[in-house]
Chains A and B, each alone.
Chain A
Amino acid sequence: MKGDEVVSEIIAMILAGGQGTRLGVLTENVVKPAVPFGGKYRIIDFTLSNCINSSIYTVGVLTQYRPRVLSTHLGIGRDWDMDRKNGGLFVLSPYAAAAEGEWYKGTAHAIAQNIDFIDQFSPQYVLILSGDHVYSMDYNEMLDFHISRNADATISCIRVPLSEAHRFGTVITDNTSRVKEFEEKPKNPRSQLASMGIYIFNWKLLKPLLIEDSKNEESSHDFGKDIMPKLVNENVNFYAYEFEGYWRDVGTIESFWEANIDLTRSMPALNLYDANWRFYTHSAEMPPAFFGNESEVVNSLTSEGCIIHGKVDGTVLFQGVKVKKGSFIKNSVIMTNVLIGENCIVEDAIIGENTIIGDNCKIGIGDKVKNERYPNIYTGGISVIGEGVVVDEGSTVGKNSSIGNFLNTKEMKVKVVPSGKNLRIDGLV
């Protein structure tokens, strides 16, 4: 591709290297943007679909942490109509050059490493996105705002309760929406406007900024920590765009579970059925969901390839899930190809792909005891079982507990994982 022939007004760069440590076993083997969500999607599908629906067809995806599942999912971008002659989807992994080879040191460094990639499209604007969030947003509205303010940089913000604001980068603006101050995860937040990790830059401004930053050895090369404060200090035209709509940071077990369960309620804020704003994904070819004679399903999402003979309430069933007779699943997220045996009770649980739950198991039963080893990860009374796990028949798994990926409780001779405990390769901790 010759740079001088291809010009895109705007190109998107999606930061998809986030490890997502607070998702526990769910991100032990996959990067956060590749975590399954909402019955058939993966988290990054929402960002990619927003790009397509906003007519942005040149997208770079920056990967780093455990990219296998993500890269397989993305392919050449065909499922998002991004397999194009001009532009399209590009997976950009860290690389080694002649003199130096290194991992992306931070979000800004990741973009800086790909300056030549961006340059070949000669874009006017660069849209920086995160592959970690579930949301529905028309980037054109933000771009219109950016252009109308004659801005050099625009940050997209959403109003959050003041008590929550310490988890985000917060923005203080004047009455023209110009950014006056930016604080990354402040202890005592003074603003409700939280950064969504979405920025539009004039490439002319951003490029020298990134080059300068990458040479600065004291910088942590992060957009939130280094670039944003610099924009404020250097007095460029830096504006905050206030987004009103659905946006979730599904970075914790509790918020991930809640965002999924929200979809089962009536009229959820995230509309998956809007024909004018479709979410695209790469999914397996499976027949329609089958409901047996004894099935009782209410308030739930079911997916292709499901075979349901039990009771399901307030639950998201991914593709190919099988629920056998006499089992009852409530308020849970059951991922692709999970098999749930007969007469099981599953409550407030997240169960990873390809896991097998034997007959007569009780998952999510017990007192809400605080998780001893990982009190900040396994919260909200939710039981998390990883992918490819075999749970022996007649087992019990308590609340705020977890079972690591690919473990076999029968081989490990563990019948009970009590509330607040974690089953790991080295045993019950």
Chain B
Amino acid sequence: MKILGLILAGEKGQNLGKLTNKRASAAVPIAGKYRAIDFTLSNMVRAGIKRVGVLTQYNPRSLMDHLGSGREWDLDRKNGGLYILQPYVSDTSQLWYRGTADAIHQNITVLRRGDEDYVLIGSGDHIYNIDFTPLFKYHLSTSADITILTKSVEGYDPALYGTVKTDQNERIIDFKEKEKENFGDKINLGVYFMNKKLMMDLLYSTVPNGKYDLVRDVIIPNIENLRIMSYKFSGYWRNVKKSLIEYKRINMDMLNPEILNELFSPSRKIYTKLKDLAPPKITSTGSVVNSIVADGCIISGKVSNSVIFRSVNVKAGAIVDNSVVMEGSTIEEGAKIVNCILDKNVTIRTERSYIGYEEPLFFEKWQVV
């Protein structure tokens, strides 16, 4: 079974404020050393997908820097590998991607050229670890035209997610977009699996007519005449771009050993850009409880209930509690942060104290406060 992977990674993530000022939501740092896109990319690679297109648009520099040639995901290949698909100017197109369907349509050559029979579409800002192969089998055994990954709405706010309703055979009979009432019992996880030819036919018949959204304009209008099946996922799944509070909560979820173990199971690895930093060092004055600490850190202060990214320096007498501290940040002597999110390379100066009460305090990249 040959499958083309497509990852939608063009969004800004409006709700993340300054965190996505200079990066797409798929490039948001998460869980100590990863970027959001690592999860979907690793899931696809582990499912045997040899050709992956990443559709970028909003400020892709940080994302491109992270992906490079795709080497960390074994996608630096002579045949296939990683394709970065950016909006471009040509005789026939000079527009930004106007929607998800338009984005794929503008790159239809990638679909037309490959020898794949199927296409798997995922989103770059979802945090989960899944083995896709049962989904592929399910798609075949249920004779589905399209299979959509779903999850029980329990524990999620239906007003923030697209939901679906299914019949007793798990066929999807209705889509609801972010509704407070009369919502479906499963949320749509934004993963679509279908025959490549079908995908192309659907795009050719919709996008040129000004219909640009994959779900609203391409999938929903075909709910009657296509067999759209729901494949239920029961593991951990989060979307990083809902809100800053949610973003912090996802990071804090890593302090739950069960979630940590599920997401980073040794048998189903999540790959990321390697940086060969030294093991983190805890010095004689340091202490770390209920936290994760990435490579290259030197901890001389007190760290609790926090996620510490690579090369962070917590100096003697400093206190870090209930915070997310990204790569290269420094908490100087005697400083204190509680309920804060520090973007990369932030410096908290000596004896300063920052406490986030209802919402976490956010510090921009390179800020010195």
Contacts and interface: CB of A to CB of B under 8 A. Distances in A.
A291 B290 contact: yes
Nearest to A292: B290
Contact of A287 (B281, B288, B292): B292
A273 B32 CA distance: 18
Interface in B288-338: 288-296, 298, 307-309
A272 B278 contact: yes
A302 B293 contact: yes
B143 interface: no
B283 interface: yes
Given A280-B276, A290-B260, A302-B282, A295 B269 contact: no
A168 to B, nearest CB: 29
A279 B271 contact: no
B295 A297 contact: no
Interface in B38-67: none
A301 B280 CA distance: 6
A183 interface: no
Nearest to B71: A78
Interface residues of B, number: 40
Nearest to B283: A266
Interface size class of A (residues with CB under 8 A): 35 or more
Contact of A288 (B32, B274, B278, B283): B32
Nearest to A39: B279
Interface string A289-316: 1111111111111111001000000001
B210 interface: no
B296 A288 contact: no
B33 interface: yes
A38 B278 CA distance: 9
A286 interface: yes
B288 A264 contact: no
Interface string A102-117: 0000000000000000
A219 interface: no
A79 interface: yes
B147 interface: no
A299 B126 CA distance: 37
A214 interface: no
B31 interface: yes
Interface in A234-293: 263-264, 266, 272-273, 278-281, 283, 285-293
B279 A38 contact: yes
Contacts of B289: 291-296
A contact face: mostly helix, strand, loop, or mixed? loop
Contacts of B269: 285
A285 B274 contact: yes
B208 interface: no
B276 A291 contact: no
A301 B284 contact: no
Nearest to A300: B282
Contact of A298 (B32, B266, B286): B286
Contacts of A285: 269-272, 274
A40 interface: yes
B33 A283 contact: no
Given A273-B298, A298-B283, A283 B274 contact: yes
Interface string B27-39: 0000111000000
B264 interface: yes
Contacts of A278: 276-277
Contact of B294 (A288, A317, A318): A288
B155 interface: no
Contacts of B255: 290
A301 B281 CA distance: 4
15 contacts: A273-B281, A273-B298, A278-B277, A286-B266, A287-B270, A288-B294, A289-B280, A291-B293, A298-B285, A299-B282, A301-B279, A301-B281, A301-B282, A303-B280, A304-B295
Given A40-B278, A79-B274, 15 more contacts: A38-B279, A39-B279, A266-B284, A273-B278, A287-B292, A288-B32, A288-B293, A288-B309, A292-B290, A293-B290, A294-B289, A299-B284, A301-B278, A303-B280, A320-B266
When A and B form their complex, which 10 residue pairs have the shortest distance between CB atoms, in order from nearest? A272-B278, A39-B279, A288-B32, A287-B264, A288-B294, A303-B279, A301-B279, A288-B292, A291-B288, A297-B282
Interface of A: 38-40, 79, 263-264, 266, 272-273, 278-281, 283, 285-304, 307, 316-318, 320
Interface of B: 31-33, 254-255, 257, 260, 263-264, 266, 269-272, 274, 276-296, 298, 307-309
